[in-house]
Structure 1
Amino acid sequence: MALTLEQRIQKLEDLEEIRTLQANYGQSVDKGWNGKEMDTDKVPELFSEDATWENPKMNIHLNGHQQITEFFTAMNANNSFFMHSFTNPRIEVDGDSAKAKWVLFSPMKPNSHLVCMLADYDMEYVRTAEGWRIQSLRLNVAEFLGQ
């Protein structure tokens, strides 16, 4: 059955809100140029209260705002530069939940040495009373260039 005009508009709005949420996530954890600093205070605006953040390659498994904020605070202290560039989004919305896969190119500068992480994200989002939030983030690292 074809979607109604209202359903089609809602889907487009949902897709755009999720793209904006993903961009805001990247902006909040970027740092190192033009005085840019990480903004870990944004975690509650980006993640659901029971969100998970995983990086299996580095054996990182975080649950909830506090652990996610503490992780980014530690990353901020140990790196002078981060830039997240998300591409090739494939987003599927299903009512109040959504799934997406994003490709990530992320230059970073730990210990004064510039490297680039190549990875993808498996994301799950949930619609809350405050808008879309990240429910689950899984960072699948493929390679670090420049190590």
Structure 2
Amino acid sequence: MPPADIQAIERVKREYAYRIDDRAYDAVVDCFTEDARFDTPEGERFEGDAELREFAASIEDAFDETAHVLTNPVIDVEGDTATGRWYLTLHYAVDGETGTEQAEYRDEYRRVDGEWLIAHTAVVGGIEH
């Protein structure tokens, strides 16, 4: 596995986290392929640019602030596709109260025109503290 591919995949996932926390929803969509899917732990699925932007914007309605902390990536590359697992710790604030949730991202990535993008994300589990 070329280290440059792994670094590019890690970069796009970190960009996703910063962009959603910065509420840069159009930029969030740029981290995904045009036909990407996002599955929530509650069983919701968002597909394609418009639905992904809608999902990202829903974060603004649900939380006053968020900080997505991603750790322990395990990435496997095979040609122009890859899979990845990450731990997610989500710090958030709602109405002056703060909290933390833990979950796991299970991702699929695809190289499109030389750029690694997220093709599918599933958020698995979720423990609230």
TM range (shorter): over 0.9
User: Hey, what does 2:14 align to over in structure 1?
Assistant: 23
- Matching residue's letter, 2:20: V
Count of residues in Structure 1 that have an aligned counterpart in Structure 2: 129
User: Hey, what does 1:67 align to over in structure 2?
Assistant: 51
- Matching residue's letter, 2:5: D
User: Hey, what does 1:93 align to over in structure 2?
Assistant: 77
How does the TM-score come out when normalised to structure 2?
Answer: 0.94
- How far the C-alpha of 1:78 sits from its partner, in A, is 2.9
2:88 is aligned, of 104, 109, 112, to 104
Runs of 4+ aligned residues of structure 1 deviating over 4 Å after TM superposition are: none
Give the share of equivalent positions with the same residue, in percent.
24
- Matching residue's letter, 1:73: A
1:19-63 deviation line (CA, Å, top 9, x unaligned): 101110000111xxxxxx3100113420000000001x3221110
- Matching residue's letter, 1:125: Y
1:42-91 deviation line (CA, Å, top 9, x unaligned): 13420000000001x32211101110101111221331110011110100
Which has a greater percent of strand? 2
- How far the C-alpha of 1:130 sits from its partner, in A, is 5.2
Counterparts of 1:141 and 1:82, CA distance in 2: 18
Aligned-pair Cα RMSD in Å: 1.3
Matches within 5 A, 1:22-61: 22-30=13-21, 37-55=22-40, 57-61=41-45
> Aligned in 2, Cα 1:98/1:25: closer, same or farther, shift over 3 Å?
same
Gaps of 5+ in 1: 1-7, 31-36
SS in 2 for 1:29: helix
Counterparts of 1:23 and 1:59, CA distance in 2: 24
Which 10-residue stretch deviates more, 42-51 or 118-127?
Answer: 42-51
SS in 1 for 2:97: coil
- Matching residue's letter, 2:115: G
User: Hey, what does 1:120 align to over in structure 2?
Assistant: 104
Bigger radius of gyration: 1
